[in-house]
A = this chain, B = another copy of it.
């Protein structure tokens, strides 16, 4: 952490940059429950794919004392083991991402404009005018070339980042620096809104589940994965190492209960039990476990059958001789934008379901 702070100080000292005023303190958060404050803190923490240190440290501090073993694997995943007490206990792995969508600087031109690559499924055309924040606090504004016809979603080459520099030399960022989107956390009734929220709410679910879990029947490995946004790279490595009997991926389900949405999935109607995503058909046995848990806890649920998105399930399912893998989707509106939106009731229901699974007599 020290190294990073020094870097930030250097950048501030030498270069003009959009880094003032400082990020606002956690104001008015008193109105939030402690759990929602945790979600807020997680959401506001910097952590694009590959730069998850700060989020991981926050999560590690939160789960201190809640697990029997806590470790960080070589890939950077944070893994907490809560031992089970059951006679017929199974090894269960549950994953939630630490990282968030963002961008990475790939080129700096002579005038100090940055080209960037996507970290995760950010849609280029939604970016112009939006902002991102680098680890050293520098703010970048997204722009788009006006020459030529960059009027489709696909034409990602036509976008650039303005970090307030006037040359490559005085640019306060370097090639390879990553940035997250900028979007303040907000709450409106049950709706929570913020950048990185779809991932961080899932991280908060794992933390809160560990906190509330009185007694586990099974050995539960909570895996806070890194690099989930860029191909679910951390999850497969963890599954290969842990060799679980069951893996449950906490996924983000694109809720489209808005005008002209093309699926029937909604916020507040319970988590989605995934039939499939783009890269995996969920294992039937894992689906059954989740369905049974919703019955036990009498929580609502939805089924996601659209082959959309590719979560962390596919590489887990493919690990070694195969892992029985299911996925529980937190419905999210406006995925991969600075304003991801989730419903606090869905969050709470996932905690109920996970708790039920972990404490189930048999699986």
Query: What is A's interface to B at a CB cutoff of 8 Å?
Result: 16-22, 24, 27-29, 31, 109, 111, 113, 115, 123, 125-131, 139, 141-143, 145-148, 150-153, 158, 160, 162-166, 181, 183-184, 186-191, 193, 254, 256-263, 268, 333-334, 336-339, 341
Question: Closest approach, in angstroms, between the C-beta of A331 and any C-beta of chain B?
Answer: 13
Known: A129-B339, A186-B139, A338-B130. A259 touches B18 (CB 8 A): no
Whether A187 pairs with B129 at a CB distance below 8 angstroms is no
Copies per assembly: 2
Among residues of B, the one whose C-beta sits closest to the C-beta of A127 is B126
8 smallest beta-carbon distances between A and B, as pairs? A129-B337, A145-B260, A16-B189, A164-B188, A21-B28, A147-B262, A18-B186, A141-B339
A189 CB contacts on chain B under 8 angstroms: 16-17, 164, 166
Question: Closest approach, in angstroms, between the C-beta of A107 and any C-beta of chain B?
Answer: 9
Question: Closest approach, in angstroms, between the C-beta of A101 and any C-beta of chain B?
Answer: 10
Among residues of B, the one whose C-beta sits closest to the C-beta of A182 is B184
In the bound assembly, the distance between CA atoms of A146 and B264 in angstroms comes to 12
Among candidates B20, B113, B147, B337, residue contacting A187 with C-beta atoms closer than 8 Å? B20
Whether A193 pairs with B141 at a CB distance below 8 angstroms is yes
Interface centre among A111, A148, A190, A258 (most CB of B within 10 A): A258
Among candidates B20, B152, B160, B163, residue contacting A259 with C-beta atoms closer than 8 Å? B160
Among candidates B21, B152, B164, residue contacting A27 with C-beta atoms closer than 8 Å? B21
Question: Closest approach, in angstroms, between the C-beta of A279 and any C-beta of chain B?
Answer: 20
In the bound assembly, the distance between CA atoms of A130 and B127 in angstroms comes to 9
Question: Closest approach, in angstroms, between the C-beta of A312 and any C-beta of chain B?
Answer: 23
Whether A188 pairs with B333 at a CB distance below 8 angstroms is no
Q: List 21 A-B contacts (CB under 8 A).
A: A16-B189, A16-B190, A16-B191, A18-B191, A19-B188, A24-B24, A109-B259, A126-B127, A128-B337, A129-B181, A129-B338, A129-B339, A139-B186, A139-B188, A139-B193, A141-B193, A145-B262, A146-B263, A147-B262, A160-B260, A166-B268
